[in-house]
Amino acid sequence: MNINSSLSRNKIFNYFLYSAILFTAFVFLNCHASEITNNEPYFDALEKINALQTNQQAIPPCSENEKKELIVLLKNSKDEDLNSYAIDHGAIVNQYGETLEIYKGDFSNEQLTQYALISTGGTMRSNTVTILEKQNDLVVKRNLDTVIIENLIPDSDMSEFYMHVAKPFAFKQDGKTYIRYMNIPYKKYDIAQLQLCTYLWEADVIQLTGPNWTFDKKSGKMVPYNDCISR
């Protein structure tokens, strides 16, 4: 066999293979960019449904000093699950490597200092919420999931509850703290599948309160949502 001829054929094959890969990547990226551009109404709707009313005050993410306080409390904890949180350049990271959004408030409305740790999986990925409660110089886990199951879905588990939280997750109104969950459509940018539901958590009881919203697909306007999970 002619070695030079074989090398030439390999070069030609590699050239066409490389060209095909570049063409496929070009088509994919352009289609994806076009899909996002064509679905600007969806992202506008997502922003609208998350917006608070004028009499509601958002609980903001923790400041850097508040995060540092929580880091000290986590280090003092003897709970192995809490010790699994890692600290990466001042950010708190869970065992899956996800940076957590941290909020400080009285989420159970018991005049307590609590932290909500929320996984920031992204728009189309589920969120998990962990509530930590300050007790002296450490924190302990408060099982919000158990409260939700016992009050709202007693014959099921958290797989039947909302997979996402709203942004902001919590707000204050008339001295009470409310928390908000969302349904977000997978794959299709369908505003009619955007649904936001508001709950009041008080000690061992959680109940649906509102406001609760979805979108009317024809008009594209927000309308009350009547199918939130409640008992």
- The pLDDT value given to residue 161: 93
Rg over alpha carbons for the chain, rounded to the nearest Å, is: 24
Beta bridge partners of 197: 181
Residue 91 is predicted with a pLDDT of 79
What is the Cβ-side half-sphere exposure of residue 118, based on CA atoms within 13 angstroms? 25
DSSP string, 76-111: H---HHHHT-EEETTEEE-TTSPBEEEEEE-TTSSS
Per-residue tens of pLDDT for the chain, all 231 residues: 554 555 455 555 555 555 555 545 444 434 433 333 347 788 888 899 999 999 999 999 999 999 999 988 988 887 877 877 777 767 788 877 888 999 999 999 999 999 999 987 654 456 889 999 999 999 999 999 999 999 999 999 998 999 899 999 999 999 999 999 998 876 677 888 899 999 999 999 999 999 999 999 888 899 999 999 997
Q: Coil, strand or helix: which one is 139?
A: strand
Task: Tell me the pTM.
Answer: 0.79
pLDDT at 21: 52
